[in-house]
Amino acid sequence: MTLEEIQHGQILLVDKPLDWSSFNVVNKIKFKLKIEFKLKKIKVGHAGTLDPRATGLLIVCTGKATKQISEIQDAPKEYFVEIKLGVQTESYDTEKPEILHQDISHITGENVQEILQKFIGEIDQKPPVFSALKIDGERAYNLARAGIQVEMKNRKITIYYIDNVEIEFPFVRFSVGCSKGTYIRTLAHDIGQKLGVGAYLTTLRRTKIGNFSVENSTDKYLQNDFLFDEDI
């Protein structure tokens, strides 16, 4: 990859590791590009935030390709999901400790399959308070962590499909295709509420954004010894 190619615009498919924020990924790539090519500035941005506790496909654009970010962000997404039934967390994922344990011995695989099907189509979804959405100019997660009561508003999202369902109580795993703006943590929480036993998200991996697949991504861009002018 030459300097000219990077400035003209590259779409980098990054396999984001666990506990990296999307912001940190962009900063790391920008820093590496500046050092390697002795640049004072270079445009770098990502096309859709992935939570630190999630892994998988994060699209990073350089140079003139940053103009494509909004178009890529609007594309449908696909995720591999694992949820745990019979328990909840404040954050709807593994960031916060488990609370509200409930017995799930009466729940059957049939119950789970039936409830999952009810989420397919256009639905109202309330984003989690532990999210990057802004409330009066402040990130919701900052307000939540400060103990401030946050009221999140419902919004319309679309679940296109839920398939490859595996049930191994208390865990349920599946693939989900969804529209822009869908919070899988909220989906996990809402599935638990519909089942009447609670649930939270234990694993989230983004596998597709539009026609881009995690199978073609790499985490090498983030490695200290990786050079962009060498082939991957």
Token output for 88: 């909840």
Q: Are the beta carbons of 12 and 214 closer than 8 angstroms?
A: no
Please say if 231 is a catalytic residue. no
Single out the residue of 170, 121, 119, 128 nearest to residue 152, CA to CA: 128
Instruction: In whole angstroms, give the CA distance from residue 84 to residue 173.
Output: 9
Q: Looking up tokens 């199978």, which residue turns up?
A: 215
d(CA 179, CA 196): 26
* pLDDT for the residue 126: 87
Q: Cα torsion for 136, 123, 128, 132, to the nearest 10°?
A: -50
Residue bearing tokens 């109580």: 169
Tens of each residue's pLDDT in the chain, 232 residues: 887 888 888 999 999 999 999 999 999 999 999 998 888 888 999 998 888 889 999 999 999 999 999 999 999 999 999 999 999 998 899 988 999 999 999 999 999 999 999 999 999 998 877 766 777 777 776 767 777 777 778 899 999 999 999 999 999 999 999 999 999 999 999 999 999 999 999 999 999 999 999 999 999 999 988 888 875 5
Task: Pick the closest to residue 101 from 201, 202, 200 (CA basis).
Answer: 200
| Catalytic option among 15, 51, 93, 190 | 51
Q: 208 pairs with which residues across the strands?
A: 78, 213
Is 135:150 a contact under the CB 8 Å cutoff? Answer: yes
Domains of the chain with bracketed CATH: 3-74+212-222 (3.30.2350.10), 77-209 (3.30.2350.10)
Q: What is the pLDDT of residue 114?
A: 97
Chain centre to alpha carbon of residue 146: 23
Distances (CA, A) of 130 to 52, 89, 91, 140, 182: 12, 11, 6, 6, 14
Q: Dihedrals φ, ψ of 54, to 5°? A: -105, 155
pTM here is: 0.90
Cβ pair 170, 178 in contact under 8 A: no
> Pick from 205, 202, 212, 172: which is nearest to 54 by CA?
205
pLDDT score at 127:
82
Query: Which tokens go with 38?
Result: 């002795």
- Give pLDDT, residue 80: 98
